[in-house]
Amino acid sequence: MPWRTRFLLGVLFVLLGTLLTISFTPFAVSNGLRLWVWWQARQERLIVQIDRIDAPFLRPVVLRGLHVTSASENAFRIDLTATQARLDLSFKRILLRNRGHALRNLSIQQLRGDLRRSNPTGRAITQRGWVTLHKLLPENLSVASSDVRVEDGPTVILLRSGFLSASEIEAGHFSASEIMVASPWFRQTFSHLRGATHWQGNRLTLAGLSLTRGLDIQSITADLSRIGKRRVGLEFDVDAFGGKLRASISHEWRSPHSNWKIAGSATDISLAQTSEAIGFTDRVDGLLHACNFTFRGNPRDSAGATASLWIELTELTWRARTAEAIMFGAALNNRQIQLQQLYIKQKTNQLTLSGEASFPSNSSDWLSPDFRGDISASINNLGDFASLFGADPDDFGGEIAIDGAMNARDRKIGGELTASGASLSVFKTSVDSLSAKLNLKATELELEELELERKSDLLHIQGKIDLSHEHNYSGTFNARVGNLAEYLSVFRGPGENNTKPTPADIHARIDSGSWDARGTIGLPGSSSINFTAKFPLPVGMTWNAFLAAPVNLTLDFPSIFLANAPQFFHPEIFRDGILSGKLSLSDTVQHPRLIGDVQLLNGKLQNVSLNLTEASGWITFNETRASLDFFTAATKDVDLSFRAEIDYQDTNALAIRIAGSVPIFDLRRRAISCVSKIEIEPVAETLAPIVTELEFRGGVFRSDWTMNLKEPVGIESNGALILNETARTLPLCLGGGPDEKTLLLGAHPRPKPVNPQKRAKRP
């Protein structure tokens, strides 16, 4: 065959091959790409749907109607859609597996995304998936009109109308109409953002981004160059509210446990501008003068983590809290926490803490910590210092000095702490002097001395607490009070106390958490009140356990003249009268055995839930029941007389039954939801039903009391009238409420005295 013929056939075959390549390449590329996407998504438990793939010869591939979702067992829930994604593939690098970007250009239109952590124990992206993602990083990137939501627990980040262009050969730009960040501690929205971008070596840099007034990002760089080896990094340089903020963060998760490296610093940041920008409701003033922070390791593995923190605040003011300087430095290394310094300076007050401690290797070692610490404090104005911790400065005052050291190692505790104070005011109660000494020993905490003096009052406490086993404590408690009435406002609220002195002398001995106490309270113009008490009160005892514990109590008050006695109730109830009695309580508080009697003679009343003005009575206690042998009372116009029985076998279910010796009528004019007050009015003649018995039920330590009114009801049977009783139950809400919650009862009025001069003469 002549060479010309062979040449023409060769040219013909080349042209035919070219035509076939041009004809079948779009089909092969589109279907091959669809198959490759399906295979890669299947490996990562993803579902990818593509409406159409256009792959024209020697032109970028266009994916239309792209939708990516994740399976339910994945750690993250992914829902991404894009109307169009344009890919400029480098077939040479793909086919020959050369280094470099497999994508020359990637352009995405109208991206909508929702990413959230839905299953903490779910399946994450595989190693192959990260390698594939790294290979898909393009030389040039463009994302237009994107709306993305990222959610991780309570933290949510929203991006609206975002645009990003980045190139290796020229500067790009970034814009967003709005970025919102919401978390439990921070919530802020940034609008109309503009910035420049740079993409080099798989590192994306944003620069010149102004977030809000006083907060400008000079540069922020995301390092994706090692994402195939499961490592990412972030660096940023920020002008923050008059100061500088720099940080470098990297995260590597190739090993079973992730590893973080964090280093950051801050200088001269205004706290006032920061609080205003973040949106704090309370203004904070001051300066974050210096801050340095480092961390390396896994946050969930303290054994292998190292960290350090140094922070210095100056001229801090928040609400009523002020401090000239606060310095804090701490370091963590090999489970050892070293508190280098906590220093607080506030006007004439100074506090310094330092020490070190170890993280326990297992949960049982938390009860036997290993630590050492020193404390030194010189507080010349306790009110100012207490305000730093949120207390009312008017509740505290005076000077106090504290010095000491504590340590614990190999389950042995040692150290001592001393405190002294003068002219103190604690919760508006003045204390002339304070002296305390605390010793820590191997197995016990010894309160060597605690002594408080106030005027003629003296409180002296000594004791020991066992730090092992049951934490039993023992010691002595002695209190001498010149006027007990001065302390009554702690229990009864504000109000005027009796100015006459009410001395008290109380002594107690404690052995293994069991108290044996006795005391005497002197009342002006009256006999003294004498009491003894024995009861257990171990550490950690609950209220229900105390109610069920054995108790012995005796109380003897031969004659108390109420007009001179301090009032324990607010508002005051007794204006005059004589109260006497003797009581002995045993068994438990919930199921008591009470023996004795109490008598009230010529009592003058005020501010009670009944409109009574006078009362006298005698009640006798006989183990689990009591009887009110007589009770006479009077209102402005009515004289009353009652008898009563009380069943207190269970103090959570008391029953008090009261029967009147004179007729009492139910004068309720309307239905009421509860009884907040009881009034007794005089009635001459009435058709209102007679109340034969009042029954009260409730618990001593409960508020859900009820009252039953028992009234006779006539039933006619075979021409005869039979009287039965019916009961009406009303809940009690004594002590307050509108007038419509007043229960109105009636009684015959007191007979008016007859004037002898007006008596008619007999003829």
Strand runs (DSSP E) across 72-137, as ranges?
A: 76-89, 103-117
The two beta strands, 720-731 and 172-182, are unpaired
- pLDDT beyond 60 at 109: yes
> Contact at 8 Å (CB) between 628 and 610?
no
Contacts 24+ apart (CB under 8 A), 496-502: 497/566, 497/567, 498/524, 498/564, 498/565, 498/566, 498/567, 500/524, 500/525, 500/564, 502/565, 502/566
Q: How many CB atoms lie within 10 A of CB 333?
A: 11
CA 617 to chain centre: 49
Range in 27-31, 308-312, 517-521 with the lowest mean pLDDT: 27-31
Residue 762: partners with Cβ closer than 8 Å, 6 or more residues away:
none
Tokens of 739: 């007038």
- pLDDT beyond 80 at 679: yes
> Contact at 8 Å (CB) between 245 and 238?
yes
> Contact at 8 Å (CB) between 237 and 221?
no
CA 710 to chain centre: 48
Q: From CA 438, how far away is CA 448, in angstroms rounded?
A: 6
H-helix or E-strand spanning residue 463? strand 457-466
pLDDT tens readout for residues 265-295: 999 999 888 887 776 667 788 999 999 999 9
Cis peptide leading into residue 571 (ω within 30°): yes
H-helix or E-strand spanning residue 140? strand 140-152
Domain ranges in the chain? 16-140, 154-276+289-298, 319-454, 475-584, 608-753
Q: From CA 629, how far away is CA 625, in angstroms rounded?
A: 13
pLDDT tens readout for residues 390-420: 788 888 888 999 998 877 665 566 788 899 9
3-state secondary structure of 276: helix
Residue 264's DSSP bridge partners are 247, 293
The number of C-alpha atoms within 13 Å of 19 and in the hemisphere containing its C-beta is 6
Virtual CA dihedral for 583, 586, 592, 595, nearest 10 degrees? -30
Tokens of 55: 């792959």
Confidence of residue 12 (pLDDT cuts 50, 70, 90): low
Higher pLDDT, 758 or 644: 644
Residue closest to 398 by CA, chosen among 322, 452, 343:
452
Q: From CA 382, how far away is CA 380, in angstroms rounded?
A: 6
Strands across the sheet containing 664-666: 664-666, 742-747, 677-682
**What backbone phi and psi angles, to 5 degrees, belong to 382?**
-65, -30
**What backbone phi and psi angles, to 5 degrees, belong to 163?**
-140, 135
> Contact at 8 Å (CB) between 263 and 291?
no
H-only helix segments in 469-588: 489-492, 543-547
Residue 387: partners with Cβ closer than 8 Å, 6 or more residues away:
320, 321, 322, 393
pLDDT tens readout for residues 129-184: 888 888 888 888 999 989 999 988 888 999 999 999 998 888 899 999 999 988 87
Higher pLDDT, 653 or 392: 653
- pLDDT beyond 60 at 316: yes
Q: How many CB atoms lie within 10 A of CB 528?
A: 16
pLDDT at position 229: 85
Q: From CA 664, how far away is CA 690, in angstroms rounded?
A: 6
pLDDT at position 535: 93
Q: From CA 367, how far away is CA 193, in angstroms rounded?
A: 53
Residue closest to 565 by CA, chosen among 579, 582, 581:
579
pLDDT tens readout for residues 200-227: 888 999 999 888 888 899 999 999 888 8
Q: From CA 38, how far away is CA 55, in angstroms rounded?
A: 17
pLDDT over 70, % of the chain: 83
> Which amino acid is residue 46, in one-letter code?
L
Over residues 360-375, mean pLDDT: 62
pLDDT tens readout for residues 657-671: 988 888 888 887 667
pLDDT at position 413: 64
Q: What's the chain's average pLDDT?
A: 82
- pLDDT beyond 90 at 83: yes
Tokens of 749: 């009025």
H-helix or E-strand spanning residue 149? strand 140-152
H-only helix segments in 55-213: 91-96, 127-135
Q: Is the pTM of this model over 0.75?
A: no
- pLDDT beyond 50 at 763: no
Residue closest to 354 by CA, chosen among 424, 407, 398:
407
pLDDT at position 717: 42
H-helix or E-strand spanning residue 29? helix 3-43
Virtual CA dihedral for 422, 426, 428, 431, nearest 10 degrees? -30
Confidence of residue 483 (pLDDT cuts 50, 70, 90): confident
Q: From CA 548, how far away is CA 553, in angstroms rounded?
A: 15
> Contact at 8 Å (CB) between 57 and 25?
yes
User: Residue 734 carries which DSSP code?
Assistant: T
Range in 303-317, 364-378, 579-593 with the lowest mean pLDDT: 364-378
Query: Can you give 583-621 as a three-state secondary structure string?
Result: EEEEEECCCEEEEEEEEEEEEEECCCCECCCEEEEEEEE
H-helix or E-strand spanning residue 374? strand 371-379
Helices (H), strands (E): how many in the chain?
A: 7, 41
Tokens of 700: 């001593």
Asked whether the CA dihedral 39, 41, 43, 46 is positive or negative, the reply is negative
Q: From CA 77, how far away is CA 72, in angstroms rounded?
A: 7
3-state secondary structure of 733: coil
Q: From CA 448, how far away is CA 475, in angstroms rounded?
A: 10
pLDDT tens readout for residues 560-591: 988 887 766 556 778 888 999 999 999 999 99
H-helix or E-strand spanning residue 384? helix 382-387
Higher pLDDT, 553 or 388: 553
Residue closest to 134 by CA, chosen among 180, 102, 174, 91:
102
- pLDDT beyond 60 at 362: no
711-727 b/e (C-beta count within 10 Å ≥ 16 → b): beeeeeeeeeeeeeeee
Confidence of residue 627 (pLDDT cuts 50, 70, 90): very high
